[in-house]
Amino acid sequence: MRDFTYHHPTSLGEAHRLAVEPGAMLLAGGQTLLRDMKRGLHSPASLVDISDILSTQIESRDGAISIGAGATHAAVARSAVLRQHLTVLADLANHIGDPAVRNRGTLGGALAANEPAGDYPVACLALGAVVHTTRRNIAATEFFVSDRQTVLEPGEIVTAVTFPVPRRGAYVKFLNPAARYAMVGVFVALGADGSPRVAVTGAHRGGAFRWREAESALTAAFTSERLGDVRLSLEGLVEDLFADAEYRAHLAGVLARRAVAFANGPGSSVMVVSHGSRVEQAIRHHTKE
């Protein structure tokens, strides 16, 4: 990690002015940026700390939830507003990283980082979220471009995110046994207008994406049986030590069906599966058949 200049602006206007300088990078919770700096992936000339000037407010308005970009994952997880209106998002946040990450990482920082196995991007896509910045309002489907890339321009700062409240929603993710992020995660939602949305994270090299074929299958009926014949394309899927493309595609189908069943049932709307669990063993058994 090389030397850099640290700035602590007191307003969004000052932060923008500092952030457009050559070599500058914005710092929110720092859980992704500081890690990558240690790895040598980023060598900024200056860091512009915006952690104290971003809103942390979480409120319900007009059938949607607005969350300030400065809200930590822990704050999202324990929000009474979310527990009442959008429990699935609170439960999702409660399974991001570990307690240290949840208490420092922020919603805005996670979206700007757009990691390929991130939990918030998949939630934004499935819930039809809108990302608000210092310049514009951006639909989630337009915000995320590819692996760690977004449409944010130099000096543009995420200020808040609006999540429409769906009729039903659920998220199921299968953990990478080493890094513990989502090797594959599937978020399903039935919108207030009755339209289904399905998004996948961890499986594709380009990051989270909408699974349109699954959405089409659920249009007739929002039931897990409708996904029985839907297969995720192998194109662009991640292959590594833990799973090849075919296994990830199969896993996405299994998790999607479970997520729809969860969304239609009582109780928790988030399920986290790890290697060695009974669910994982069942998945491997069916994959071999």
Give dist(CA 158, CA 136) in Å, integer: 9
Which of 17-26, 162-171, 270-279 has the lowest average pLDDT? 270-279
AA identity, residue 99: P
Residues facing 49 on adjacent strands: 27
Residue among 158, 72, 77 at smallest CA distance from 114: 158
Measured between alpha carbons, how far is residue 149 from residues 140, 144, 176 in Å?
13, 7, 22
Q: What is the CATH number of domain 5-49?
A: 3.30.43.10
Residue 276 — very low, low, confident or very high, per pLDDT cuts 50/70/90? low
Fold of 168-288: Enolase-like; domain 1 (3.30.390)
Q: What is the mean pLDDT of residues 70-90?
A: 97
**Which residues have a Cβ under 8 Å from the Cβ of 81 and sit 6 or more positions away?**
58, 59, 60, 65
Residue among 106, 114, 72, 94 at smallest CA distance from 201: 114
Element (H, E) at 76: helix 73-78
> What digits encode the pLDDT tens for the residues 32-55?
777 778 877 788 889 999 999 999
> What digits encode the pLDDT tens for the residues 225-264?
999 999 999 999 999 999 999 999 999 999 999 999 999 9
Task: Return the domain boundaries, the chain.
Answer: 5-49, 58-164, 168-288
pLDDT at 41: 77
Domain 58-164 maps to which CATH number in 3.40.720.10, 3.40.50.1970, 3.40.190.10, 3.30.465.10? 3.30.465.10
Task: Judge whether residue 280 has pLDDT over 90.
Answer: no
Place of tokens 């929002």: 222
